[in-house]
Chains A and B, each alone.
Chain A
Amino acid sequence: MRLGMFFREALRSIRANAAISVAATVTALIAVFILGAFIPSFMYVRSAVSAQTSKVDVDVYISDTASVKQVNALRDKIGTLKTDGQVAEFTYVSKDDALRLMRERLRDPSVLDELPSNPLPAKFNIQPTDPANANAIVAAVKDDAALDPTEGIVYPQTTADRLLTAAKFVQWAGFALIGILLVAAVLLIGNTIRLSIFARRREVEVMRLVGATNWFIRWPFMIEGVICGLVGAVVAVAMLWGIKVGVVDAWASGADTALTKTGSAGGAIAFPLLTVVLVGAGALLGAVGSGITLRRFLRI
């Protein structure tokens, strides 16, 4: 079987150039380790940001003088927005509910007993499916007859915009960083494999002179790259696992903060999946790195 022969050739090459193989493996290890630490952090931050963004909701205040018919018309209007998919959830908060909520929130609710009448307006609390829809929702209801003329519509526009920008930034910065990391890793591994080939350039020349095709020469080197990438990735994953169990999990169970909850609940990637991604990345780094290098070497 040819694959078996190429594999034996690759092992021979690794043994013959032990120092260089170790260097390639360590390069893969570092690259995969950084990637493996970065991916969960990135996903954590992204989920934290989107958790904040999802809290952006729109309050539509209703005039005390609005008729039941007008309020129902407004409810239908918002209902339509929900069927359109712009609104995820909306609730009607009556004047009494508003007062009760206010009472629950105050440390000394007795101050409210002094009031001659309930000053709080009723409202619809609307949760957009996406914070980006908030403006459209506002536009759809802003001229409604049932609206309270003074309170109108309240929604944290600047917060929403800022969060949106932040979420987009985190996303693009994350992808860009992962991209840069991968390219750097491919170049580094390619460079190390280049050393291996350079050390054996006379051998490669002889192989060509006795009629070896480029692919015949290339396969063992690519397998060598894949083996180095795989070994590096496996060691990196083991190190990441140690850090996850020893540091992150211990910290998360000790400190039951809102932050850790948001992060691990929605965002953190499952470790087995991460392992698969990282080991795959290691193998690919090795193959692509040596493949690219060989292209330049085999032009005789």
Chain B
Amino acid sequence: MARIDDDIHDAGSTPRAFTLVEVPLETVPADLAVVTPPASEKRRRGDVFRPGPGPMVQFQGVIKRYDGDVRGLDGVSVSIAAGEFVFLVGQSGSGKSTFIRLCIRELRATSGHVIIGGRDLGELKRSKVPYLRRAIGCVFQDFRLLPDRTASENVAYALQVTGHSRQEVNRRVPEILALVGLDGKGDRLPRELSGGEQQRVSIARALVNQPRLLIADEPTGNLDPDTSQGIMDLLTRINRTGTTVLVATHDRDTVDRMQQRVIALHKGRIVRDAEGGYNEDPGDTGEIA
């Protein structure tokens, strides 16, 4: 967290540094803060999941079998360093969501090790799982918003969980909603928002606690190309503040444009791991046309 704070002071930027969707990427300083840092973090020792020095995400021979011997992941070994921006690509059913759900211990590996921030999730006590999840911002493929809460209340919940005061919640929620281009829509219930807008509420909620690791499962799946571009710019900017970003997607255009590290999954196995576009060498991926 210290690094983000320092960046803000060095840059001399105000807490409301930007509203993303309207502002072109080039005009935004690379070191900008995403949201106001918490003024009073009343956290007890041991309640915080602090990533260690090694890789942020490490999978060692991970196999995940669902009931009935369905293979979600079939022997995946990969390492993602802190600060990286990585795409996880593959057809639908290739295991992208399984990979992500293993990272937040929504699922447990059938065998192998899932290590986040140096901590083996197989050995993480159940009571410590909430602290892991607070350190990871997760954008879910199906949004997972609380249906009887407004957009603001949904984002606020993630702050309340981490023990922020009401004043802080009231200050930060509008900021983060503006950041994802939802100003003025905070009082709407999820069912009163379009798919893309719900998507952005989910993103706002993932960002609001300034996670060290941000994972997004098909974050542009429901968005038009312009909004997708805006979301990708936002994720890039967050990545520049030092946050590790992992994006699962099958949006070929986006991946090709970004030219980042791409991990390609097929039938639960990694078939390619390289910098570049979605499918640099079609012959290599094993994908069925």
Chain A residues proximal to chain B, CB less than 8 Å: 2, 5, 12, 16, 203, 205-214, 216, 299
Taking chain A's interface residues, is the majority helix, strand, or loop, or is none over half, making it mixed? Answer: helix
List of B residues within 8 angstroms of A5 by Cβ: 160, 166
Q: Check if B61 is an interface residue, CB within 8 A of chain A.
A: no
Check B106 against A203 for contact (C-beta < 8 Å). no
9 contacts between A and B (CB under 8 A): A5-B160, A203-B146, A205-B144, A207-B157, A207-B161, A209-B144, A210-B134, A211-B161, A212-B157
Q: What is the interface size of chain B, counting residues whose CB is below 8 A from a CB of the partner? A: 26
CA distance A209 to B133 in the complex (A): 7
Contact residues in A for B166 (Cβ distance below 8 Å)? 5
Residues of A within 8 A of B144 (CB): 205-206, 209
Given the complex of chains A and B, what is the CA–CA distance between A208 and B140 in angstroms?
13
- Cross-interface CB contact of B130 among A12, A203, A212, A299, cutoff 8 Å: A212
Known: A203-B147, A216-B161. A210 touches B205 (CB 8 A): yes
What are the residues of chain B within 8 A of A16 when measuring CB–CB?
148
11 further interface pairs, Cβ-Cβ under 8 Å (given A12-B148, A203-B147, A212-B161): A2-B163, A5-B166, A16-B148, A205-B144, A209-B133, A210-B161, A211-B133, A211-B134, A213-B161, A216-B130, A299-B126
**Is there a chain A Cβ closer than 8 Å to B131's Cβ?**
yes
Q: Are A210 and B147 in contact (CB under 8 A)?
A: no
Are A211 and B158 neighbours in the complex by a CB distance under 8 Å?
yes
Query: Which residues of B lie under 8 Å from residue A206 when comparing CB positions?
Result: 144-146
Residues from chain A with Cβ under 8 Å of B134 in the complex: 210-211
B157 nearest in chain A by CB position: A210
Which one, B127, B138, B148, B163, contacts A209 given CB within 8 A? B138
Provide the bound-state CA to CA distance between A35 and B131, in Å. Answer: 44
Once the chains are docked, how many angstroms separate the CA of A207 from the CA of B126?
15
Contact B147 A211 (CB under 8 A): no
Q: What residue in chain A is nearest B128 (Cβ atoms)? A: A213
Binding site for A on B (CB under 8 A): 104, 106, 126-127, 129-134, 138, 140, 144-148, 157-158, 160-163, 166, 205, 209
Whole-angstrom distance between the alpha carbons of A2 and B130 in the complex?
18
Across the interface, which residues of B come within 8 angstroms of A209, CB to CB?
104, 106, 133, 138, 140, 144
Bound together, the chains give a CA A207 to CA B144 distance in angstroms of: 9
Complex CA distance for A212 and B161, rounded to whole angstroms: 5
Least CB distance from A7 to B in Å reads 13
The 9 closest A-B pairs by CB, nearest first: A211-B134, A211-B133, A213-B130, A212-B161, A211-B130, A206-B144, A210-B158, A211-B161, A16-B148
Chain B: which residue is nearest A216 at the CB level?
B161
Residue of A nearest to B49 (CB): A211
Q: How far is the CA of A74 from the CA of B138 in the complex (A)?
A: 92
Indicate if the CB atoms of A211 and B162 lie closer than 8 Å: yes
Cα of A209 to Cα of B144 in the assembled complex, Å: 9
Asked if B133 and A210 make an inter-chain contact with CB atoms under 8 angstroms apart, the answer reads yes
How far is A211 from B127 in the complex, measured between Cα atoms in Å?
11
Residues from chain A with a CB closer than 8 A to the CB of B158 are 210-211
Q: Which residues of B contact A208 (CB under 8 A)?
A: 129-130, 133
A213 and B129 CA atoms in complex are apart in Å by 8
Minimum CB–CB distance for B167 against chain A, Å: 12
Residues of the A chain whose Cβ atoms lie less than 8 Å from the Cβ of B104: 209
B56–chain A nearest beta-carbon distance, Å: 17
Q: How far is the CA of A16 from the CA of B189 in the complex (A)?
A: 14
Residues of A within 8 A of B133 (CB): 208-211
| Shortest beta-carbon distance from A112 to chain B in Å | 88
The CA of A208 and the CA of B130, in the complex, are separated in Å by 7
Min CB distance B170 to A, Å, is 13
In angstroms, Cα B140 to Cα A258, docked, is 75
Q: Give the chain B neighbours of A213 by CB distance below 8 A.
A: 127, 130, 161
Chain B, Cβ-Cβ closest to A5:
B160
A208 to B157, CA, bound (A): 11
Chain A residues whose CB sits within 8 angstroms of the CB of B126 once the complex forms: 299
Smallest beta-carbon distance B260→chain A, Å = 26
**List of B residues within 8 angstroms of A211 by Cβ:** 130-134, 158, 161-162, 209
The residues of A that contact B106 with a CB separation of less than 8 Å are 209
Q: Which of B126, B130, B134, B158 has the most CB of A within 10 A?
A: B130
Q: How far is the CB of B233 from chain A (nearest CB, A)?
A: 24
A213–B146 CA distance with the chains assembled, in angstroms: 16
User: When chains A and B are docked, how far (Å) is the Cα of A214 from the Cα of B158?
Assistant: 14
Give chain A nearest CB distance to B187 CB in angstroms.
15
